[in-house]
């Protein structure tokens, strides 16, 4: 019998938890000059410690935030998305979450955003998820409805607005945009069903995580914020009413999303708007976000992805490194059953590790930093003195000069 080993098995199947997971160097690697002790630090820097969420294990604590790419036609994923997301999943991230997918055609942010409102979208997404899994990556999908910030009538132009833009109330985002149509109770139930059907398609496509987009002034956030929610029925007014749409939507998604698969919610933890005569409360607040997180934990949400803003042009955002991290810390301190993700000007591995080491967040989410450096995790191993698995195909690119020599 031939002893020939087909090299394709080696190159297609990554070992263990895959690229980005901390491993001990082999004897051969030690001989090549990698690390004097041939041991990783004990304990490992927390950024490289696995995290188990339901039936899913993240190999490290670095996740790619959803980033809109505006590169779709009729909501379909393309070769671009396979290459773009495939690169990220190969390069060691604990989790890669794909950009906001419209749960309905009119729910897209732009005419060129991805969608998952029909079964025909599933096939291309299966290819992307399968590629991620072949490289031992975990992959998520963000489900969204843009509400009064949607713009999707004519795919030949980005400027034409729909005349049936939807929102909780007839309140425009700013004077240059259409005033939305306030949703009826039947409309609300239809949109919630759209989220549930999208979740079923996401499962069929092979995604590991769903994140519901409840931030940045899109529909779920529009219901939460008194800036955009002027309803006088059971979906408006007091806190319990304004959170109803979000809680009911989460409940419908959790009912159809497999029990072993995690469910995240991205929240704008504050609108960053100062109280005024026009907006007496200053909008949605950190305190309300924390109370909502406690409720969402009981509804089967596993992690709150803590972002901010997006409801009003008057927002004043105090940008600085890690400026949103304290919101994740507030969730962790007040809602111990809920994991929290930090996002916002996190730009290097030491900063990211300090956030999780100091228990300020459980996961860090990166966006622009990954566009600048898709190998953030692999490069960060050297920064933190960790020996981690590389993609087999890229092993020759490992930079020994920045590691410790024998």
Q: Would you name the residues annotated as active-site residues?
A: 218
Structure-block tokens of residue 200:
């079923």
Which parts of 135-233 fold into alpha helices (H)?
A: 185-205, 219-224
| Secondary structure letter of residue 360 according to DSSP | S
Selection from 261, 146, 139 nearest residue 200 by Cα:
261
Residue 298: phi and psi, rounded to 5, are -75, -20
**How far apart are alpha carbons 28 and 275 in whole angstroms?**
63
Cβ atoms 97, 140 nearer than 8 A: yes
In order, the DSSP letters of 208-220 are SEEEEEE-TTSHH
Can you give the length of the chain in residues?
406
Distance CA 386, CA 351 (A): 15
d(CA 388, CA 106): 44
Strand, coil or helix: 354:
helix
Q: Is 364 helix (H, G, I), strand (E, B) or coil?
A: strand
Task: Assess contact for 219 and 100: CB atoms under 8 A.
Answer: no
Residue with token string 């991290």: 325
Strands 56-58 vs 51-53: parallel, antiparallel or unpaired: antiparallel
Tokens of 134: 């072949």
**Among 231, 224, 216, residue whose Cα is nearest residue 169:** 231
């Amino acid at each position: 019998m031939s002893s020939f080993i087909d090299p394709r098995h080696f190159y297609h199947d990554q070992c263990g938890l895959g690229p980005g997971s901390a491993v001990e160097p082999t004897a051969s690697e030690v001989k090549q000059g990698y690390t004097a002790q041939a041991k990783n630090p004990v304990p490992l820097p927390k950024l490289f410690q696995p995290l188990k969420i339901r039936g899913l294990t993240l190999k490290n604590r670095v996740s790619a935030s959803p980033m809109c790419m505006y590169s779709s036609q009729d909501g379909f994923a393309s070769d671009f998305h396979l290459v773009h997301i495939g690169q990220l999943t190969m390069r060691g991230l604990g989790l890669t979450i794909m950009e906001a997918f419209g749960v309905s055609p009119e729910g897209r942010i732009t005419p060129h955003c991805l969608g998952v409102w029909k079964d025909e979208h599933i096939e291309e997404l299966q290819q992307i998820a399968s590629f991620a899994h072949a490289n031992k990556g975990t992959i998520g999908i963000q489900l969204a409805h843009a509400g009064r910030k949607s713009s999707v009538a004519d795919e030949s132009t980005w400027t034409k607005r729909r005349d049936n833009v939807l929102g909780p109330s007839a309140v425009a985002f700013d004077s240059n945009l259409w005033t939305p149509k306030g949703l009826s109770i039947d409309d609300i139930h239809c949109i919630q069903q759209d989220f549930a059907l999208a979740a079923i398609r996401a499962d069929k496509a092979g995604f590991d995580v769903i994140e519901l987009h409840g931030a940045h002034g899109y529909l779920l956030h529009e219901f939460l914020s008194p800036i955009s929610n002027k309803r006088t029925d059971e979906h408006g007014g007091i806190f319990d009413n304004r959170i109803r749409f979000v809680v009911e939507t989460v409940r419908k998604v959790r009912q159809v999303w497999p029990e072993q698969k995690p469910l995240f919610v991205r929240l704008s933890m504050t609108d960053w708007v100062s109280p005024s005569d026009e907006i007496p409360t200053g909008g949605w607040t950190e305190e309300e976000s924390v109370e909502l997180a406690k409720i969402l934990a009981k509804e089967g949400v596993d992690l709150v992805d803590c972002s901010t803003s997006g409801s009003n042009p008057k927002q004043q955002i105090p940008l600085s490194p890690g400026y949103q991290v304290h919101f994740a810390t507030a969730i962790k301190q007040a809602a111990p059953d809920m994991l929290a993700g930090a996002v916002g000007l996190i730009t290097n591995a030491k900063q990211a590790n300090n956030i999780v080491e100091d228990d300020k967040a459980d996961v860090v989410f990166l966006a622009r930093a990954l566009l600048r450096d898709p190998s953030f995790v692999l490069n960060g191993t050297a920064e933190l003195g960790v020996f981690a698995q590389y993609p087999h195909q890229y092993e020759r690119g490992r930079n020994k000069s920045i590691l410790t020599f024998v």
